[in-house]
Structure 1
């Protein structure tokens, strides 16, 4: 009887140890909703960008790059990094895209994306310093 109880105890402990990592892994599954640490009230991308066909994703990327470059420029020009300035509505980026790039071909849009990325990256250190000073980086 003691032997049966010992086996049962070992089996129970073993199963418990096996289940424990599985339960821990379940807690590590990231959620699809990520809330940023800085400026959590950011405007959403326009619907057309979120629903764009995969083959046209470069258009979405271009608008994102325009948005990022404009925001870095705004921060550096004003010396301010409040949330509304750092993450404004997408309107200006959309207008820039429509007026300057909407009729471009894929290759031209990729070149434009590269250009906006360079602009944003050049301004990033200065913008980062301004934003870090107010805790918005």
Structure 2
């Protein structure tokens, strides 16, 4: 009886995972930068394609300081490495969004694999039989 209750709970969780996967695939975005992704700032080169999330957020905060300072000083927003600060910030936001979605998808796949392992042998057999029957109909 405990196995049956666990199996039902596992199947419900798998449905929730499937719903989230469909939701994520519906909002699938591709990173299409407006800059060349190589930002030279304070004597260092930063490649947006290889920086991790923490470094990207720090860089975005630093860039935003330039915009805020320009606003406070009533100056035009600066251009860095040939692009406006706003374009750099937009690219970083986009990169963070895409990497966040990829991480979430990977987490869902891991959870799904764990749940598959937790199913009882009887339930696994039943699901495989149901799958074969569905293919034959």
TM bracket (short chain) = under 0.3
The TM-score with structure 1 as length reference comes to 0.24
The TM-score with structure 2 as length reference comes to 0.24
